[in-house]
Structure 1
Amino acid sequence: MREVVITGMGVALPGAGTPDEFWELASRGSSRVAPIDRFDTTGHPTDRAGVVRDDVLAALPGRARKRMDRFTALAVVAAEAALADAGLRDAGPPGDIGVYLGNMYGGWEITEPSLRRLHTEGGTGVSPYIASAWFPTAAQGQITIAHGHKGFGKTVAADTAGAALAIGYGMRAVREGRARVMLCGGAEAPVTPYSHVFCAKDGRLSTGGYLPYDRRASGFCVGEGAVVLALEDAGAARERGARAYGRVAGFAAGHARQTEVFGAAGRRVLARVVGAAMAEAGVGPAEVDYVGLDAQGTVPADAGELAVLERVLGPPGEERGQTTVKPVTGHLLGAAAAVEAAGALLAMRHGALPPVAAPGGAEEVGVSGDRTGHVVRRPRGHRTRHALINARGADGTVAACLLSAC
């Protein structure tokens, strides 16, 4: 089996158009979740979200941007940056490069205004770009078209676990020799009235800010953006002298009933999945020194995750940093696990732990005997060798990726 390394990273995130900009925010726990000014938020449970600066999309030709939804445009920009970062400008032979992305809602930037006008004003038509712009696979398709990639392509819709599956499946494609390079990650642009209603109806949007692993937690605030990682056969990467952020060493996925994923049954599945990912990577519990947490932002879901980690990995201490970068950007739904993976890889590179952003201080959730101190609240130096990335979707999907330093 081939070793799979990550040679490129592209981000298009709130407050960050490059990995360096993202690390600057994450390393300080500086949140870019802010009041929404795109639409009237009256009646919505929250008026806050993470929004990408318009200049991040400025490099896209106007004609191409016109036919893309925002989530696709963000993905195309991130993919271009990942290829450039990896030094992989040329597509190579057919099947050489593939694309696996996670997405939850598809696109509503073009579709929603068209349907709203049709409903409120009447008319005889809608935008001709609706079908191709809304469809969740649009981002995957536009990336392959832009670069002539003819390898495997897949869009994973698994609620908030989608990008974890995309990374894991992409690793398997390279490891098994089905591709030399896979562009993997996720893209989402849910800051529209309609998609906010989707999240609100699920009861997942916070009424008081995104405060994971905090007693005041009431859900999450969404963010838009994209993260794309270039996964590559390690032998090919070495031959061309490429620098690697780390390796995708292990992956596992499972499923719980939709109504039980954040309860006792889901905790059992998460424990099994984490164990399987570590086993594939050949990493023991004591060797996991970084955990990129799932961070659903509710007390039961967050406390349950911490309890599983304590049972599977042992009590947390200085040697294991448990954190999440999601509050920096807002929760990117189907792309959230890719954001978390990027944070872990940058932590490896910089030798530091990013803190869980908690504006106004934190009131931590405890586990054993209500003991706190389970998550990183202040930045500090830390050598990360093996990082576990957890992801759970409300549809019942549970996944874990194990990233290791090279």
Structure 2
Amino acid sequence: MTQTTIAAPGERTGGPATAVITGLGVIAPNGLGAEKFWAATLRGESGIRPLHAGGHPRGGGPRYPVTLAGQVRGFVAEEHIPSRLMPQTDRVTRLALAAAEWALEDAALRPAELPEYSMGVVTSNASGGFEFTHREIQKLWTQGPQTVSVYESFAWFYAVNTGQISIRHGMRGPGGVLVAEQAGGLDALGHARRAVRRGTPHIVTGGVESSLDPWGWVSHIASGRLSREPVPELAYRPFTREADGYVPGEGGAILVLEDREAALRRGAAKVYGEVAGYAATFDPRPGSGRPPGLEQAIRKALADAGTEPGEIGVVFADAAGVPFLDREEAAAISAVFGPGGVPVTAPKALTGRLYAGSGPLDVVCALLALRDGVIPPVPHAGEVPAAYRIDLVRGAEPRSAALTHALVLARGKGGFNAAVVLRKPEHPEAVPRKEEK
């Protein structure tokens, strides 16, 4: 997508901007809100359940070979979304709007008080508004075209979350949407950092997904990569001998990314961390004999951050749960960091793979791990094959660690790879407001 950036006058004092994260908005299968999600993750509390559980029949039932999903429960859209938006939004957009609202509140950032073009939106989405479209297509087939909602023209679209967030909050800075399946959420963060460095001081970014209606459900199954294990605790165990696929889910995270100087100037209460490095690569075509591009993405992200492998205290892995993909990722990690050279974790084992939502949600986990000095484990994990040569954090308890840097990885179906390096801030809280001259 072509991007036009209009810099807010006086926002930079020279040199490249340092992009920091000041607000977190989380909507996950095991928690609504960043702190509730983080507490559940540290407890090993899973959001993976039979899709029909909780009296919300969406998607797969007993007639389907896969019945488990990471479904967001307890979210009542009418409590968070204006009534005028309800007829024109899919569930995924309602989740994104709520997460964006929470991120702005967490950052104590009020867009209406900012210069007109100083805030933009860059999000990612892999599936669009599935449930809305399914309903309208059914109406088209059974009742005729005159019954189809006019909002179908955009409610299905990948870019609708970016559009609705920007319209609701009057954000007229650069906008964009990245479509790269599971890697897209990290790509959105990298794109947002580029916008900050080009002069836009505040960006809302991240990714959210929801495609668990019947149409979306059979699309997930058609990938051939879903676990058919019916027991939630055993269904998604990446990097282990028992791995037989993954569990899909919905939700994700929206973040507030800012030029650090601009955040200081407005008196931001806290800084979670810096987006220090980012890189994206694409795998070669199958059968070419060339290696996958993940290792290159890791090395490029480290170089972009000016960080050595030994400074990384934890890797938040893509963790596909598909044996050949797990082997590829483990090989890339061990090649860069050495055999067992860095702790590896995968909190998404508790939520399912959220596609564009997974990367941003892992970024939230990584930032809170840096803050609290703990690495969340992969619960219910079995034996890790010796050939993987990785230090997978397993068990029921988090692992304490003195962390300054974290690496987040994501791989999208079709060959997408993305890597983000996060750096712990020197002064995370109570940054002073600069005096006006």
TM-score by structure 1 length? 0.92
Q: Does 1:366 align with 2:386?
A: yes
1:365·1:372 contact (CA, 8 Å) conserved in 2?
Answer: no
Distance 1:26 1:335 in 2: 16
Q: Does 1:387 align with 2:413?
A: no
Q: Deviations over 1:82-127 (max 9, x none)?
A: 1111111124223211111111000122211222344356674322
Q: Does 1:300 align with 2:324?
A: yes
Report the 3-state secondary structure (helix = DSSP H, G, I; strand = E; otherwise coil) of the residue aligned with 1:344.
helix
Distance 1:4 1:174 in 2: 7
Distance 1:193 1:106 in 2: 15
Instruction: Identify which range, 112-121 or 3-12, moves more after superposition.
Output: 112-121
Aligned to 1:105: 127
2:316·2:344 contact (CA, 8 Å) conserved in 1?
Answer: yes
Distance 2:266 2:317 in 1: 34
Going from structure 1 to structure 2, the CA distance change for 1:283 and 1:148 (only over 3 Å counts) comes to: same
Pairwise CA RMSD of aligned residues? 1.9
Report the 3-state secondary structure (helix = DSSP H, G, I; strand = E; otherwise coil) of the residue aligned with 1:289.
strand
Q: Deviations over 1:190-244 (max 9, x none)?
A: 1111112222212122112121112122221111113011110011112233210
Q: Does 1:185 align with 2:206?
A: yes
Percent identical residues: 38
Aligned to 2:421: 402
Q: Does 1:19 align with 2:34?
A: yes
Report the 3-state secondary structure (helix = DSSP H, G, I; strand = E; otherwise coil) of the residue aligned with 2:147.
coil
Distance 1:123 1:240 in 2: 50
- Aligned AA (1:111): T
Aligned to 2:225: 204
Q: Does 1:140 align with 2:140?
A: no
Distance 1:139 1:21 in 2: 24
Aligned to 1:223: 249
Query: If you compute each CA radius of gyration, which structure gives the higher value, 1 or 2?
Result: 2
Q: Does 1:257 align with 2:284?
A: yes
Aligned to 1:328: 350
After superposition, residues 309-328 of structure 1 pair within 5 angstroms as 309-317=333-341, 320-328=342-350
Distance 2:276 2:289 in 1: 28
2:373·2:401 contact (CA, 8 Å) conserved in 1?
Answer: yes
Aligned to 1:245: 272
Aligned to 1:44: 64
Q: Which runs of 5+ in 1 are unaligned?
A: none
Distance 2:252 2:318 in 1: 17
Q: Deviations over 1:325-348 (max 9, x none)?
A: 112221111221111111111111
Aligned to 2:47: 32
After superposition, residues 82-161 of structure 1 pair within 5 angstroms as 82-91=103-112, 92-119=114-141, 124-161=146-183
Distance 1:295 1:265 in 2: 22
Q: Does 1:338 align with 2:360?
A: yes
Q: Out of 304, 313, 318, which is 1:280 matched to?
A: 304
Q: Which runs of 5+ in 2 are unaligned?
A: 1-15, 230-234, 426-437
Q: Out of 124, 143, 163, which is 2:185 matched to?
A: 163
Instruction: Identify which range, 208-217 or 277-286, moves more after superposition.
Output: 208-217
Report the 3-state secondary structure (helix = DSSP H, G, I; strand = E; otherwise coil) of the residue aligned with 1:109.
helix
1:253·1:398 contact (CA, 8 Å) conserved in 2?
Answer: yes
Distance 2:390 2:366 in 1: 22
Going from structure 1 to structure 2, the CA distance change for 1:327 and 1:194 (only over 3 Å counts) comes to: same
- Aligned AA (1:238): L
2:339·2:390 contact (CA, 8 Å) conserved in 1?
Answer: no
Distance 1:210 1:266 in 2: 26
Going from structure 1 to structure 2, the CA distance change for 1:393 and 1:156 (only over 3 Å counts) comes to: same
Q: Deviations over 1:157-195 (max 9, x none)?
A: 111110010001111111232x10111110100111111
Q: Deviations over 1:345-400 (max 9, x none)?
A: 11111211101132xx52323326xx574344441212221111111111211111
Distance 1:49 1:404 in 2: 32
Distance 1:20 1:96 in 2: 28
Instruction: Identify which range, 38-47 or 19-28, moves more after superposition.
Output: 38-47
